[in-house]
Amino acid sequence: MTDTTRITGEVPSGPAADAAGLIDMVLGIVRAQVLHAFAELRIADHLADGAQTAREVAGREGSQVRATYRLMRAAASMGVLSYAGDGRFGLTGTGHLLRADVPGSLRAFALLHASRSHWQPWQLFPDAVRQGTSQAKRALGADLFDYLARPENADQAKLFTDAMTDWSRLTVHGAVAALDTAGVSTVLDVGGADGQFVLELMAAHPGLRGLVLDLPHVVAGAREEAAKCGLSGRFSAVPGDFFAEVPAADLYLLKTILHDWDDDQAIAILRNCRSAAAGGGRALVVETVIGEIGQPDLATLSDMGMLCVAGGIERDLAEFDTLFAASGWDRGETYPVGGGYYSLELHAR
């Protein structure tokens, strides 16, 4: 450890402090890669039973000892690890979230955002702003979702699904708890991947029948999850394209779907849901909502990722209302459900 007891002087202020703050922002790219390596090398899993030295962790992982120490020291400076003395590091609460297969894990989320499917387009971000379009096709040879659908990228597709599942856990519980299902018998999870949202809703309301609509290479995972939950008897996974057709239902769930698409595409999805909706049909949109300009706002940072990588957009309430009005829906109650996300309840016109 560095001996700081003989360091003297005051912390700079004014322009020097501004420069330090800007440098700290720029080094966000380094933080992302520290978290990527930390997750890839399963440092949190190696420390699950208590504090250890870098040599012990490197022995388990097969990594170089000094480089492992340097990584763990950097992670400690970020609050992911704590220092227990004598070269031993332990997990903080944040660090525990980078363990695999623990409640609330965000390990896959950390891996995804430094993976080739997401990291490579960011190198072209200035062009995304110049052109107003995603750079995934230039960087990857295909738009993001087409890239993930390719058989040779199955590992990246699984990582994407795992990351979205982990992220969803931050919001699903709150959305399910707050949703009134009176008068609802059939619920369709639009683009629902493994069906986490609709399956949890079905578990909370035993009278509901649930469906997931997603691409053919995705729906098998939804069937597997339904079987694990013991809900296969009242669950169906439908392969399809929500731009083409949506099955009939009483309630449509659109969780983090609209932000993946531009306005015309989002309206097409909503309009297809509205066309298929039974009389008195409803929808529940779960998304981030951009707040007051100039205030710290995770949604505005997510919006940059949507611009560069996925080709979508995060929206404020006025922008959402424009989409809803154009597709035959009226927005009703709107409320936070956790993780910076909101539920926007829609009623068919």
Whether the CA torsion 70, 76, 82, 86 is positive or negative: it is positive
Model pLDDT for residues 170-228, shown as the tens digit of each residue:
889 999 999 999 999 999 999 998 899 999 999 999 999 999 999 888 889 899 999 99
Tell me whether residue 3 is in a domain: no
Q: What gap in Å lies between CA 219 and CA 224, rounded to an integer? A: 9
Check whether residue 315 and residue 178 sit in a common domain.
yes
Check whether residue 222 and residue 84 sit in a common domain.
no
Query: Residue type at 243?
Result: F
Check whether residue 187 and residue 314 sit in a common domain.
yes
Check whether residue 294 and residue 167 sit in a common domain.
yes
Q: What's the average model confidence in pLDDT over 43-64?
A: 97
Domain boundary among 83, 112, 141: 112
Range(s) of the domain holding residue 59: 15-112
Tell me whether residue 85 is in a domain: yes
Q: pTM here?
A: 0.84
> Which residues lie closer than 8 Å to 273 by C-beta, 6 or more apart?
188, 190, 242, 246, 252, 254, 281, 283, 327
Check whether residue 221 and residue 282 sit in a common domain.
yes
Tell me whether residue 132 is in a domain: no
Q: How many domains does the chain have?
A: 2
CATH of the domain at 279: 3.40.50.150
Mean pLDDT of the residues in the chain: 93
Tell me whether residue 10 is in a domain: no
Tell me whether residue 5 is in a domain: no
> Which residues lie closer than 8 Å to 126 by C-beta, 6 or more apart?
none
Q: What's the average model confidence in pLDDT over 323-332?
A: 97
Domain boundary among 61, 95, 112: 112
Domain boundary among 61, 84, 112: 112
> Which residues lie closer than 8 Å to 173 by C-beta, 6 or more apart?
200, 338
Check whether residue 331 and residue 186 sit in a common domain.
yes
Q: What gap in Å lies between CA 258 and CA 273, rounded to an integer? A: 12
| Other residues' Cβ atoms within 10 Å of the Cβ of residue 296 | 7
Check whether residue 184 and residue 245 sit in a common domain.
yes
Tell me whether residue 164 is in a domain: yes
Tell me whether residue 149 is in a domain: no
pLDDT of 7 > 80? The answer is no
Task: Pull the structure tokens for residue 93.
Answer: 């609460």
- Binned at pLDDT 50, 70 and 90, residue 8 comes out as low
CATH of the domain at 60: 1.10.10.10
Tell me whether residue 53 is in a domain: yes
Query: What is the structure's pLDDT at 2?
Result: 55
Check whether residue 89 and residue 184 sit in a common domain.
no
Check whether residue 164 and residue 106 sit in a common domain.
no
Query: What is the structure's pLDDT at 69?
Result: 98
Q: What gap in Å lies between CA 157 and CA 217, rounded to an integer? A: 10
Q: What gap in Å lies between CA 190 and CA 91, rounded to an integer? A: 37
Check whether residue 106 and residue 249 sit in a common domain.
no
Do 284 and 344 meet the contact criterion of CB atoms below 8 Å apart?
yes
Model pLDDT for residues 70-108, shown as the tens digit of each residue:
999 999 999 999 999 999 999 999 999 999 989 889 999
Q: Which residue has the higher pLDDT, 278 or 209?
A: 209
Q: 334 in helix, strand or coil?
A: strand
Q: Which residues have a catalytic role annotated?
A: 259
Query: What is the structure's pLDDT at 161?
Result: 84
